[in-house]
Structure 1
Amino acid sequence: MLKHLQLKNFKAWSDTGDVALKPVTMLLGTNSSGKSTLIQSLLLLKQTVQSPDRTIQLNLGGDELNDFFNFGEFENVLKQGASPRHFEIQFSYERPGKEERINSGQFRAVYGQAGSGAVAIQSMQLTTSVKDQDFSYRAERRDKGAYSLFVNQESQSRGAKRDFAPERSIALSAHAIQTLGTDGALMEDLSLAVRRELEGLIYLGPLRRKPERDYVWNKSKPGEIGIDGHKAIDVLLASALLRSDERNLTLDSVSGWLKKMKVADKLEVRQIGRSSRYEVVVHKDGVVANLRDVGIGVSQVLPVLTVAFFAPEGSTVLLEEPEIHLHPLAQSMLAELFVDVSKKRKVQFIVETHSEHLFRRLQTLVAKETTTTEKCAMYFVEKGRQGAKLRELILDSYGRLTNWPDNFFGDTLGETREQAKLMFERKKRETK
């Protein structure tokens, strides 16, 4: 689970400050304020560690099939007017209960531009703690592309060579590892742990693909759900048709939440004749219809529900606008889904949303003591003269907000007062 995130001179952000990430973290704010950038920074690192080119230091994208975003060039990522011309990404993570040598760590990298125009790491540091002893490894860029290696608080480097250049942002070359000697093995384990944490991020974007009328099942479980959720149906088919101890577990869980949201009574997978094709049908108020023929809200929320039970325990799910095309009750139930799944499956949710109903229900869950302010966090992002600004929204133990930005969700009480005022004025005129 991710614990902290900080960006400096990254797109709209001069400095986010240290952003604490909880099991359920909600990002709210105005349009084009910088909310999505917080999520994109993590996906930038994910697509870098998954790059087939191990020598790349930061993969800004361009491969439509394999990359999450195309960030363009260095200038498109660097905040305008930044001095020095460097941007920084830093995060920490923790995997409690995992039987691994390294179950927590911190990553920090500062990026600049090489003479060729490519992105080049200026400084990369990985930190961890093993048996209450801290370890730190750092690579610093020198002249002509050489990198110096430092271990812990050593002031003297272990050498400076071009062959020591970091790979995929989070690793050192085999030559650098060998040069570190006995410290190299721990450094290698640490970079592998950071890589696993980034590879384990699951992202579902705001635009989900419309369903097909029927599907061919390839008799396997997909490895991913896709950024547009197009593999969600394959996950449900595998849940219904694969013979295992967990058969129907995901399908039944999704059906249960659809019922709680009052958008469907049940979801069912049906074989079409004796063919290898299957359809997903929705039961609602005694009517059975193909998924393609029901309201778009069902098909749009289906990947959101599916990813909650598809994500491996302990992973982090990044969601943008999960509430799209849902009615108010269904939107509010998403808050209950995130809190419930984060508790039972240890899945972390980082959610970018515009939904007042989702936000208000999370307040209620705090008031009901279903969750606590230690388990959820809410941030408001707004655009200022100097760039994006982040405000942590403070809830008390009764779910009351102490520092809500004016009129973000509109002035509900003000609208009610205005309506009452106009009603009385109109009735007064009508009685004359």
Structure 2
Amino acid sequence: MLTSLCVMNFKAWRDSKEFRLAPLTVIFGANSAGKSSLGHLLLALKQTVLSPDRKRALHLGDDKSLIDLGTLAECLHNHDLKNPLQFALGWDFPGKMEFRDPLTPSRFAGDGLRLAATLQADAREQPSVRRIAYSLMLGKEPCLCIEYRRNENNKFEITSNEYKLVRTVGRGWPLDEPDKFYRISDQSRARFQNADFLSDFALSTEAALNSIHHLGPLRDHPKHIYSWSGETPESVGARGEFSVAAILAASSRGRMLNRGPKKRQARFDEFIAQWLKDLGIIHSFAVKPVSEGRKEYEVLVKTHHASSEVKITDVGFGVSQVLPALVQAFYCPRNSTVWMEQPEIHLHPQVQAELADVFISATQAREDGKERNVQLIVESHSEHFLNRLQRRVAEGEVKPDDVAIYFCRRSGGVAELEPLRLNVLGEIENWPENFFGDEMADISARTLAAMQRQINQRQESDVQ
């Protein structure tokens, strides 16, 4: 699970400052305030991990990648190539990482890792690594810090205050460029007698970034027929295009889920159908083969108890729009992080509120009796979603520490992120100005307009 993020000189973010990521993190803010670019950077980091090119420090994307950020200049704050791109990401381990120094009795153990990286444009205006810093965390404190950086002679060096790295005899060669933005190369590690643990740091980074899944704000239109030949998609896709395939794959493999401890278990398709019913969108939901032995399927729904069963294409747009968000929240593997953009699009205000219950449940759900430990990071514009979330905190359904809420705004062309303090009563103690628009100004203007209209009507009546 991701625990923290910091971004500097990326798009609108000059310096986001390090902010906490909770099991359920919600980011509000106006359009073009900079919310989405935080997720875009995480996707760029993930596609760099997936890239076969180890010498590319940061894969900014193309038409076949998760995201295409354009050129480095387009990514940098104010498009200034002199600015270094910096970011820091922290995450917890499902268990603990433990290792010992083979040359001394020293042992190290941590329950999380923090990676900080600095990249600078090279002569070809491509990203080049200037610094990689790892901190092995035990609780909130680092127990081992390692820094790999370019020195004043433009050569790489590695330093640590807690761990003495010893050179291999006869291998006094200079250290190599790192692999990507996070990995000290095998050749560089081989020049030390006791640097093998650095490969564990790199593997943990890959696991953390590979666990990120993204659902964008625009979703595919519903189809009359869906094809599925037995594959298991990694996720529902950025547009939710694999939602039905995910339902079929999870159900055929007998995945059993419940909404939390001591709640009833259900097969995946039944679990999703029950949530759709509880959201008040439909009465029943099913995915059925068109005919026996075929790989074509249709999604059939009933809007009311007494209504006929129809295809998903014949009902309101909201069902097909909320389905990917619902499926992704429970389909992703254990220990995943899901970044969702505007899951409330096309939904009635009441359903927007109910969606908060879905996401709270997703962070508490169990699969086959084990905690799923799923994290959701949600970009939203919905006041109804927030109101329900505050209510559930007040009712004790979710702990304040398990929720993080932020307000994103622009100030002088620079994005800023304000953490909102949520207390045990579900109250936001530092409500931002114009959080959901200037409601009081609208009420005041409406009242004044009504008064003026009454005055005008009386004056017209007196004249007559």
Query: Shared fold (TM-score greater than 0.5)?
Result: yes
The residue type equivalent to 1:292 in the other structure is T
From 250, 254, 259, the counterpart of 1:244: 254
The residue type equivalent to 1:288 in the other structure is E
| SS of structure 2 residue aligned to 1:181 | coil
What is the match of residue 376 of structure 2? 349
Would the aligned equivalents of 1:146 and 1:160 in 2 still touch at CA under 8 Å? Answer: no
From 164, 167, 171, the counterpart of 2:179: 167
> Deviation per CA, 1:305-342, whole angstroms, max 9, x where unpaired?
00011111221110111111111011111111111211
Deviation at 1:71, TM superposition (A): 1.5
What is the match of residue 124 of structure 2? 116
Query: Residues 77 and 214 of structure 1: is their aligned pair in 2 closer, same or farther, counting only changes over 3 Å?
Result: same
What is the match of residue 188 of structure 2? 176
Would the aligned equivalents of 1:14 and 1:386 in 2 still touch at CA under 8 Å? Answer: no
Deviation at 1:418, TM superposition (A): 5.2
What is the match of residue 330 of structure 2? 309
Q: Are 2:278 and 1:260 aligned?
A: yes
| SS of structure 1 residue aligned to 2:190 | helix
Normalised TM-score (structure 2): 0.84
Query: 2:165 and 2:303 mapped to 1: Cα distance?
Result: 70
What is the match of residue 89 of structure 1? 87
The residue type equivalent to 2:383 in the other structure is E
Query: Residues 122 and 243 of structure 1: is their aligned pair in 2 closer, same or farther, counting only changes over 3 Å?
Result: closer
What is the match of residue 31 of structure 2? 31
Query: 2:155 and 2:190 mapped to 1: Cα distance?
Result: 17
What is the match of residue 203 of structure 2? 192
- Report 1:242-391 matches (<5 A): 242-244=252-254, 246=256, 249-274=267-292, 275-285=294-304, 286-344=307-365, 345-385=372-412, 387-391=414-418
Query: 1:70 and 1:81 mapped to 2: Cα distance?
Result: 16
From 76, 79, 95, the counterpart of 2:77: 79
The residue type equivalent to 1:121 in the other structure is V
Query: Residues 224 and 243 of structure 1: is their aligned pair in 2 closer, same or farther, counting only changes over 3 Å?
Result: closer
Query: 1:414 and 1:79 mapped to 2: Cα distance?
Result: 34
The residue type equivalent to 2:302 in the other structure is H
Query: 1:140 and 1:199 mapped to 2: Cα distance?
Result: 25
- Report 1:61-72 matches (<5 A): 61-62=61-62, 64-65=63-64, 67-72=65-70
From 193, 201, 210, the counterpart of 2:221: 210
The residue type equivalent to 1:218 in the other structure is S
The residue type equivalent to 1:244 in the other structure is G
Would the aligned equivalents of 1:332 and 1:358 in 2 still touch at CA under 8 Å? Answer: yes
Query: 1:413 and 1:77 mapped to 2: Cα distance?
Result: 38
Q: Are 2:157 and 1:148 aligned?
A: yes
Would the aligned equivalents of 2:2 and 2:21 in 1 still touch at CA under 8 Å? Answer: yes
| SS of structure 2 residue aligned to 1:363 | helix
Query: 1:81 and 1:52 mapped to 2: Cα distance?
Result: 28
Would the aligned equivalents of 1:146 and 1:161 in 2 still touch at CA under 8 Å? Answer: no
Query: 1:361 and 1:185 mapped to 2: Cα distance?
Result: 48
- Report 1:409-428 matches (<5 A): 409-412=436-439, 415-416=442-443, 419=446
Would the aligned equivalents of 2:255 and 2:268 in 1 still touch at CA under 8 Å? Answer: no
Structure 1 stretch 320-329 or stretch 341-350: which is displaced more?
Answer: 341-350
Normalised TM-score (structure 1): 0.90
Would the aligned equivalents of 1:26 and 1:377 in 2 still touch at CA under 8 Å? Answer: yes
Task: Calculate the aligned-residue CA RMSD, in Å.
Answer: 2.7
Query: 1:83 and 1:118 mapped to 2: Cα distance?
Result: 10
Structure 1 stretch 153-162 or stretch 244-253: which is displaced more?
Answer: 153-162
Point out the structure with max Rg over C-alpha: 2
Query: Residues 129 and 423 of structure 1: is their aligned pair in 2 closer, same or farther, counting only changes over 3 Å?
Result: closer
| SS of structure 2 residue aligned to 1:314 | coil
Would the aligned equivalents of 1:282 and 1:291 in 2 still touch at CA under 8 Å? Answer: yes
Query: 1:30 and 1:24 mapped to 2: Cα distance?
Result: 20
Structure 1 gaps of 5+ residues are none
Query: Residues 188 and 130 of structure 1: is their aligned pair in 2 closer, same or farther, counting only changes over 3 Å?
Result: farther
Query: Residues 130 and 330 of structure 1: is their aligned pair in 2 closer, same or farther, counting only changes over 3 Å?
Result: closer
Would the aligned equivalents of 2:7 and 2:13 in 1 still touch at CA under 8 Å? Answer: yes
Count of residues in correspondence between the two structures:
427
| SS of structure 1 residue aligned to 2:90 | strand
Would the aligned equivalents of 1:57 and 1:168 in 2 still touch at CA under 8 Å? Answer: yes
Would the aligned equivalents of 2:219 and 2:240 in 1 still touch at CA under 8 Å? Answer: yes
Q: Are 2:419 and 1:392 aligned?
A: yes
The residue type equivalent to 1:108 in the other structure is A
Structure 1 stretch 414-423 or stretch 33-42: which is displaced more?
Answer: 414-423
Query: Residues 41 and 378 of structure 1: is their aligned pair in 2 closer, same or farther, counting only changes over 3 Å?
Result: same
Query: 2:153 and 2:142 mapped to 1: Cα distance?
Result: 35
Deviation at 1:244, TM superposition (A): 3.1
* Percent of matched pairs sharing the same residue: 30
Deviation at 1:405, TM superposition (A): 2.4
> Deviation per CA, 1:168-200, whole angstroms, max 9, x where unpaired?
211111101111322x22111111011100011
| SS of structure 1 residue aligned to 2:425 | coil
